[in-house]
Structure 1
Amino acid sequence: MKVGLGYSNCENAFIAGQQAAQHAIAQAVFNDADLVLAFCSGTMDHQAFYRGLREVLGQDVNIFGGSAIGVITNQHLSYSGHPAAVAVLKFEDNYCQMAVATGLFNSPFKAGEQLAETLPTMSDASLLLLLYDSVKFSGSENAAPVMNPSAPLLRGLELKLPKPLPIAGAGLLGDHGFSHTQQFCGKSITQQSASALVFGGNIRSYIGVMHGCQPLSSQRYTITGIFGQFLYTLDGKPAVKVIDQAFGSDSWRSNSPVSQLCLGIPADPAADLSMDNEYSNRLISGVLPNDEGLILFEPDMHEGLQIQLMRRSPALGRTSARNSTEALLQKIKQDGRKPLFALYMDCAGRIAQFDQAPATDAALPIAGLEEAREVQNLLNDARIPLLGFYCGVEIAPQAGKSRGLDWSGVLIILTR
């Protein structure tokens, strides 16, 4: 596999598509790509951006990607203005197959089944890359946005796959206002869809999960009142008041989405949440009027589920990103594999502009606080091409199965 990367931050979407594609082709050592990965700001005119890509890349190549809060390359961590990034891929002794499922809005589970049934049989399949639209209803001033859950999508997909595969990917998010997202699905632009790329041939993927939260205390709480993405009570008490008491104030409510806290779901009831890979986090999007309850980002919790309150730690996020990336690179070296390309899917809540610098770091530029910089620096040192984007939900294998994650980063390094 050969790779070329391109970037643009141009307000004119058509020109942005042209620029990003031209830069990618200029960096590549080939003229015709076998696959294009492309992500652009959700505020951008996707149709015009797509036409700009086609103007340079032609009409035959499949383009896979869509809306993003921002993008990441070897040189850029970009989420202001109109960021867009493109990777052009040329396969050698490897290949991929694509599938697209519509109707995510009606049934994520059936969309997952449709994806798996549409994919051709691949005896050498080694990775499934999954993208889907996070937002079901964008919401309004008086109504919270409603999200498409990842759990039933993954269940439907895994149920129909001919053999188990590591699944990694993301729920797309285009802006912090939870507007509807769009996807580039081969040769079309769709909404309320899920799409998959399955890689085969002489490819092996290495997947790392970067965390950034730690338990607020050792106490666990049982969900006793919940409907969809609205969580009303914990241990039979109003959830908002429970968190106020545990946190020591109501200041955690000041940001929406909530930036200081999230909810931790143990991988199993006996899991030790001090261990990174023993839990998955769930973002709190906000608080219902009159403190009636919490608005969750993903509607996948249920009554009887035990959770733990987790405090976000930018310092822990940086440490986890650095340690996880170093461990992946060391494992690749030990296995005698050659890294070809890295894809990083980072939670939009982890971008630097939402970090609050400790007093001792007050003189540092805000970009220096971003955990994605750790990933970028290490991959640059290893000379690995990097494309990344900021998303709503991250998906990765964890504790024995693929799961939807929040407040996390997922790094995939493709090797041969």
Structure 2
Amino acid sequence: MHVGIAYSNHENAGIAARNAVEEALDQSGGADLTILFTTNTYTRQDVLSAVAELVGKVVGCCTAGILTPDGVIREGIGVCTLKGVKAITYLSEVKDPWKSGEKAGEVFRKVKSGTTIIFPDGFIDGIPELLRGFYNSLGPEYVYVGGGSGDNLMSTRTQQFTEKGIIKSGFAAAIIDVTLSAAVGHGWRPLTDPMIVTKTSGKKIYEIEGEKAFEVYSRYVECDKENFAIYGMKYPFGLPCACGSFIIRDPIALGDDGSIELVSEVPQNSVVTIMGCENEEIIKVAEKVVELATSGVKKPRFALVFDCISRMFLLGSKFEEEIKAIKESLPVPFIGPLTFGEIYSTFNVPVFHNKTVVVAVGGD
């Protein structure tokens, strides 16, 4: 396997795309798959048209920023070219999440083992169901990584793409016959005793322990409706999971009825706690995630990094310290998007996370 990683922030979409792809191709000597990220400063079709002139199979999404060893590029294009791999790409809208995932998985079964990379629209409903559909077709013989695409926290213009075209409210995915070594972490810890979510619908929690969700939340976190968004970013919900950690669910809005809207679904009767964090611990966890992912590869060659955008907003100027910690711990080039939810396979089962860093390392 040969790898190329490059990025460009040229103001012209076509030039930026060609510059990044050509530089990556110089490193890899060709491309059986090109992983492509672009910010909202460019027209996606102009980017994809320029890329299509140089390579064949492509998978990618729009993002609010591109993670690189030089920091976060808020306006630019990033690519990773892989040569010497078997790859299949897939692009689809999502009407029935489970069935959409199953259909993609059926196509991907032509590759007997390896890594599935998935970029769903970070704002659609049913991403956990989509991942379960993938798993129902593919099973545990694969690593699953990826992240939700988006432009900013209030975006409705998220787009996903392959060489087949560009869509909204769907997902782009690819499978390669190379098993990447991946790890995940977030840095939040439980602040409250476990509580039962007694009424939910979709992404909204209506009741916790039989009381209105916000009444319970504000009892532990001293906030009101006006500053809820700020406190919700630092004090999300955590769902205990079998691996001994917590899956984070990010609160993003309050309803007039006292409900709390989350980035992703929480099933009714789930056990949750309210989580807290320290900025220093968040940054240390990113470093630990890199070390764990790298330890699974004898000779690391490259890495894909999926880092939640809410970590950047929470850390502010200190987010550059997180990128620096990743760079200093990662002995290889890396690229990745700021994500709206991250995908990682715990016990080889794909799970949709919030507020995490996922690092996937490839090599010999």
TM-score normalised by structure 2 residue count: 0.91
Matched, 1:134 2:122: yes
Number of the residue aligned with 1:355: 315
Alignment correspondent of 2:199: 225
For residues 268-287 of structure 1, give each alpha carbon's deviation from its aligned partner in whole angstroms, at most 9, with x where no partner exists.
Answer: 5xx8xxxxx52110111121
Aligned to 2:144: 167
- For residues 257 and 347 of structure 1, the distance between their equivalents in structure 2, rounded to whole angstroms, comes to 17
CA 1:231–1:74 in structure 2 vs 1: closer, same or farther (change >3 Å)?
A: same
Separation in 2, partners of 1:150, 1:112: 9
Letter in structure 2 aligned against 1:414? G
Check 1:23–1:70 CA distance in 2 against 1; reply closer, same or farther (3 A cut). Answer: same
Give the Cα–Cα distance (whole angstroms) in 2 for the partners of residues 115 and 260 of structure 1. 35
In the TM superposition, residue 187 of structure 1 has moved relative to its aligned partner by 3.4
Q: Does 1:292 align with 2:258?
A: yes
Q: Which amino acid aligns with 1:3?
A: V
Match of 1:377 in 2: 328
Q: Residue type of the partner of 1:410?
A: V
Q: Give, in whole Å, the separation in 2 of the partners of 1:214 and 1:399.
A: 21
Partners of 1:214 and 1:251 in 2: CA distance: 24
Maintained 8 Å contact 1:348/1:390: yes
AA at the equivalent of 1:304: N
Please give the per-residue CA displacement for 1:111-164, whole angstroms capped at 9, x wherever unaligned: 1011011224233x12222222222xxxxxxxxxxx332211111111122663
Alignment partners' CA distance in 1, 2:79 and 2:13? 14
Counting only pairs closer than 5 Å after superposition, residues 100-249 of structure 1 correspond to structure 2 as: 100-104=90-94, 106-123=95-112, 125-135=113-123, 147-161=124-138, 164-200=141-177, 203-217=178-192, 219-249=193-223
Contact 1:314 1:371 in 2 (8 A): no
Look up the match of 1:260.
234
Give yes or no for the alignment of 1:387 onto 2:335.
Answer: yes
Q: Which structure has the bigger radius of gyration?
A: 1
Instruction: Name the Cα RMSD after superposition.
Output: 2.3
Over 3 Å counting, the alpha-carbon distance change for 1:369 and 1:47 in structure 2 is closer
Task: Give SS of 1:371's match.
Answer: helix
Matched, 1:12 2:12: yes
**DSSP 3-state at the match of 1:148:** coil
Question: C-alpha separation between the residues in 2 aligned to 1:302 and 1:76?
Answer: 37
Query: How does 1:393-412 map onto structure 2 within 5 Å?
Result: 393-398=341-346, 401-412=349-360
**What amino acid maps onto 1:83 in structure 2?**
G
Kindly, what percent of the aligned residue pairs are identical? 23
Among 84, 103, 123, the alignment partner of 2:77 is 84
Maintained 8 Å contact 2:120/2:172: yes
State the alpha-carbon separation in 2 of the partners of residues 127 and 20 from structure 1.
24
Letter of the aligned partner of 1:7 in structure 2? Y
Superposed, which structure 2 residues align to 1:310-349 within 5 Å? 310-332=275-297, 337-349=298-310
Aligned to 2:248: 281
Aligned mates of 2:363, 2:228 — CA distance in 1: 44
Alignment correspondent of 1:141: none
CA distance in 1, matches of 2:6, 2:129: 34
Aligned residues: 364
Q: 1:354 to 1:249 in 2, by over 3 A?
A: closer
Partner of 1:39: 37
Unaligned residue ranges in structure 2 (runs of 5+): none
1:354 partner letter: L
Question: What CA distance in whole angstroms lies between the structure 2 residues aligned with 1:263 and 1:196?
Answer: 28
Equivalent residue number for residue 144 of structure 1: none
- The aligned residue for residue 139 of structure 1 is none
What displacement does 1:101 show?
4.6
Shift in CA distance, 14/285, structure 1 to aligned 2, threshold 3 Å:
same
Relative to structure 1, the CA distance from residue 162 to residue 296 in structure 2 (aligned partners, 3 Å threshold; closer, same or farther) is closer
SS, match of residue 180 in structure 1: coil
Give the match's secondary structure for 1:23.
helix
Kept in 2: contact 1:263–1:283 (CA 8 A): yes
Q: CA deviation at 1:256?
A: 6.2
Contact 1:68/1:391 (8 A) holds in 2: yes
Three-state SS of the structure 1 residue aligned to 2:152 is coil
SS of the equivalent of 2:336 reads: strand
Q: Kindly provide the amino acid, as one letter, of the partner of residue 47 in structure 1.
A: Q
